[in-house]
Structure 1
Amino acid sequence: MHQTDICILGAGPAGATAALHLANKGISSLLLDKAAFPRDKVCGDALSGKVVNELRRIAPELPALLGQQQEALPSWGIHFISPGGHRLSVPFKYNYKPAQDTPAGYISKRIHFDNFLVEQVRQRPEINFRENVDVAKYERTPEGGFILSDKQGQPLVQAKLLLVANGAQSGFTRHVAGLEQEPEHYCAGLRAYYKGVESMDGDGFIELHFFRDFLPGYFWIFPLPNGQANVGVGMLSSAVSSKKVNLKKEMLRMIASHPELQRRFAKAELVDDIRGFGLPLGSRKRVISGDNYMLLGDAGALIDPFTGEGISNAMISGRWAAAQAEKCLAEQNFSAQFMQGYDKAVYNRLWKELKLSRQMQKLLNYPWLFDKVASKASRNQALAETISCMFNDLDLRERLRQPSFYAKLLFN
């Protein structure tokens, strides 16, 4: 049985980021994943400017290194298409110049991006990375910490501190940390890869379509390298249940029947299975640590409730988990009370953003208002620029929660 101070479960963006930050501090860790890399992960595949910033925090050269990958397509923003068909375009970077500026974001299949991070992991002697290790049981030790075992009950690892980054379906999250899936704070999604979708944005803008007959869900099209696109749908699990929605049927219906999609998908070809996944949303605060453990990324339910973005928040949680782990080792204190420093750091960084996104998610209950905002912004450059700035500036974005903002829009 391997003994270690720090064991990280899951080598996705959260776990790999934590391991790399620990390595930068000269701290060794054991990183386990049940798969062998490269491996696929069902996701929207969009990497926002926050992801680029987190890469830079790991190592200044990483954003440029990602940009050199053939599998990464530069992306400059988001198109929101309202229920009435009005387009609201929000650049990741105001006044961007694609020919001169470093891309604000990218779109890359998770099989490639996660492997990109894992390749950085493999280069670090401080990280003991082991693949094809499926941890099934977690047992507390009398002196504190955990013994991890496989499905047969064979002990694999004894660790003082666990960084749990093994995704939305984490058994540890449910059975040890006691975080349940809540339909009001959980999104069901489907993803498919197509080739030959027409009229993709030349600057790699991702598209979020809010069709009136699919609210409160959304349909997305994200361009990918080599003429492919990530196409999918997402809807709150509570709505899927109450409306008895078959997401796959609805996705194919929209492609076949909505005039704009019908035109763009006329010559498109499905190149992979339509696959489902779950998104635990960060739309309410949770306790994401306890005695001898921290929950990272999807395992800690940190996904943006409006856009569905989870990769950047996972990497942010990985960075703060590494900082907390360093303190734990220095103090030899792994108590739940001491671990609260991690919760505070994560929510100090993310909660304002998550709370605002929750409010914007509720805007979908008022499609006429969404239409009004998008319609005016599509005709008014100054308003479009204001809203673009709001998405990139949290203090400005607060205005989106204020009734006075919409009153001015409606009556001016």
Structure 2
Amino acid sequence: MKETQVCIVGAGPAGLSAAMNLNKLGVDCVLVDKYEFPRDKVCGECFDGHVFHVLRRLDAGYVEEMDEQGIILKSWDYWFGDEKNRKLRTAFDKNATPRILTKRTEFDTFLMNKVKQMPHVTVMENVDITSIEQVLDGVILSTKDGKTKIKAQMTIGATGATSKFFNAVTQQPKREGDTYAFVRAYFTNVGKIPNNEVVFHIFYSPMIVLYICPLPDRTVSVEVGIKQTEIKKHNINLREKLFELLQTYEPVKDKFRNAELIGKTKGAAIQLSYKKAKLSGERFLLAGAAGQSVHPVTGYGAGHAMAAGEIAAQNAAQAIDNQDFSAKSLKQYDKAVYKKLGNEILLSQIITYIFDHPKTCLPILFSVGGSITNILTHEDFSQEFLNPVFYFRQLMGISR
């Protein structure tokens, strides 16, 4: 049985960040993932600025190294459009922290290679942890066949909210919320996308999102997403819908007229919720999608996950120093995460609600588009968006 201070389950951005930060703090940990790297991951591939900040706190050279290797692309442009030809465009100040556009496969592999060189981290790939047992002096994590067991003083769960490990550690059958299905395809030979802009196109009846994101190797990632319950209700084949939209939807069809598909389309599911999630308990912390750090529209996914991983590492190190792994003590982690990311998580929840009620809410969003654009390019746009005074100004026609 392998023994360590902290076992991190899941080697996405949250788990990798937690491992790197624990190493920085001198805490021994085991990082487990059920796949072998490099592994593909269906993801929006447009990351918010938290990624920059977390990486630079770890090592100022990481971002520059990824830039030099052509792993990342920077973007300051973002816009939404709908089938009724309405648009909401944002252009961030070029001095502001950019969005990072990258293939998750390459981004995660870069970080994993760094982690494998760290003295306080042991990496275990192709290991699918499905159960966790509380014992007097720690937790024992096991694979389904029982051949791999890891004993740790505590664990950080970074496997997502739909995994078997999430169910085991939280003792919940599933997190409350709606599941959304996505299909992703990579294309080459796509028409020019100005300023590396990331684009969302919205369709009604049923509500479908078409997402287009340029990538560093001159390929383009395209995704379509829909609430899972709508797929059966409307008998939708998402793969077919993706190609149909690229071939027939006026704003994009010219760009994709000569596009060539790279590889196969791939699918994924994510869970979105309006409710504040519990992030900790006796001897465990949750980070990443397991800790509600995911949203396909705001881009608050990998950045939130890495920030939560950093906070999880700090709280785990403190718990080890104090030898206090009680649910009451680890509740400080929830407070720290919501203090740092709470406004942005709430913004994601509001946008989830808007997209769940598109016919009512989206026309309002587009009608105040100019003001929303000003907010989105504001340094602390999430606080402004959540400020009731903003909505009062819109109703009264008062400018900022």
TM over 0.5: yes
1:118 equivalenced with 2:112 (yes/no): yes
Give the alignment of 1:325-404 within 5 angstroms.
325-364=316-355, 365-367=357-359, 370-371=362-363, 374=366, 377=369, 383=371, 386-390=374-378, 392-399=380-387, 403-404=391-392
How far the C-alpha of 1:177 sits from its partner, in A, is: 0.6
**Which segments of 5 or more consecutive residues in structure 1 lack a partner in the other structure?**
none
- After superposition, the Cα gap between the structure-2 partners of 1:404 and 1:384, relative to the gap in structure 1 and judged at 3 Å, is closer
Moved more, 362-371 or 188-197: 362-371
How far the C-alpha of 1:12 sits from its partner, in A, is: 1.5
Superimposed CA distance per residue, residues 328-371 of structure 1 (whole angstroms, 9 cap, x where no aligned partner): 10111111111111111112222222222322333343557645
Q: Which residue in the other structure is 2:252 paired with?
A: 261
CA distance in 1, matches of 2:327, 2:193: 49
Q: In 2, are the aligned partners of 1:389 and 1:396 still within 8 Å (CA)?
A: no
Q: Which residue in the other structure is 1:88 paired with?
A: 88
Amino acid paired to 1:196 = N
**Which segments of 5 or more consecutive residues in structure 2 lack a partner in the other structure?**
none
Q: 1:158 aligns with which of 127, 151, 175?
A: 151
CA RMSD in angstroms comes to 2.7
Amino acid paired to 1:229 = V
Q: Which residue in the other structure is 1:172 paired with?
A: 165
Q: In 1, are the aligned partners of 2:129 and 2:165 still within 8 Å (CA)?
A: no
Q: 2:134 aligns with which of 137, 140, 159?
A: 140
TM-score, normalising length: structure 1: 0.87
Q: In 2, are the aligned partners of 1:185 and 1:284 still within 8 Å (CA)?
A: no
Q: In 2, are the aligned partners of 1:149 and 1:155 still within 8 Å (CA)?
A: yes
Give the alignment of 1:58-69 within 5 angstroms.
58-69=58-69
Q: Which residue in the other structure is 2:201 paired with?
A: 209
CA distance in 2, matches of 1:305, 1:408: 32
- After superposition, the Cα gap between the structure-2 partners of 1:90 and 1:179, relative to the gap in structure 1 and judged at 3 Å, is farther
Q: In 2, are the aligned partners of 1:183 and 1:237 still within 8 Å (CA)?
A: no
Q: 1:304 aligns with which of 287, 295, 305?
A: 295
Q: In 1, are the aligned partners of 2:12 and 2:108 still within 8 Å (CA)?
A: yes
CA distance in 1, matches of 2:71, 2:118: 23
Q: Which residue in the other structure is 2:76 paired with?
A: 76
Superimposed CA distance per residue, residues 268-312 of structure 1 (whole angstroms, 9 cap, x where no aligned partner): 111122211111225321212111111111122321364353111
How far the C-alpha of 1:52 sits from its partner, in A, is: 1.1
How far the C-alpha of 1:27 sits from its partner, in A, is: 1.4
Q: In 1, are the aligned partners of 2:375 and 2:381 still within 8 Å (CA)?
A: no
Amino acid paired to 1:165 = A
Q: In 1, are the aligned partners of 2:246 and 2:256 still within 8 Å (CA)?
A: yes
CA distance in 1, matches of 2:226, 2:157: 26
Q: In 1, are the aligned partners of 2:193 and 2:214 still within 8 Å (CA)?
A: yes
Q: In 2, are the aligned partners of 1:356 and 1:397 still within 8 Å (CA)?
A: yes
Moved more, 360-369 or 160-169: 360-369
Q: In 1, are the aligned partners of 2:132 and 2:168 still within 8 Å (CA)?
A: no
Q: Which residue in the other structure is 2:266 paired with?
A: 275
- After superposition, the Cα gap between the structure-2 partners of 1:146 and 1:113, relative to the gap in structure 1 and judged at 3 Å, is same
Moved more, 402-411 or 271-280: 402-411
CA distance in 2, matches of 1:135, 1:385: 44
CA distance in 2, matches of 1:260, 1:344: 44
Q: Which residue in the other structure is 2:41 paired with?
A: 41
Q: In 2, are the aligned partners of 1:43 and 1:110 still within 8 Å (CA)?
A: yes
CA distance in 2, matches of 1:321, 1:152: 29
Q: Which residue in the other structure is 1:199 paired with?
A: 192
Q: In 2, are the aligned partners of 1:399 and 1:405 still within 8 Å (CA)?
A: no
Amino acid paired to 2:48 = S
Aligned residue for 2:146, secondary structure, equals coil
CA distance in 2, matches of 1:410, 1:148: 57
Q: What percent of counterpart residues are identical?
A: 30
Q: In 2, are the aligned partners of 1:282 and 1:354 still within 8 Å (CA)?
A: no
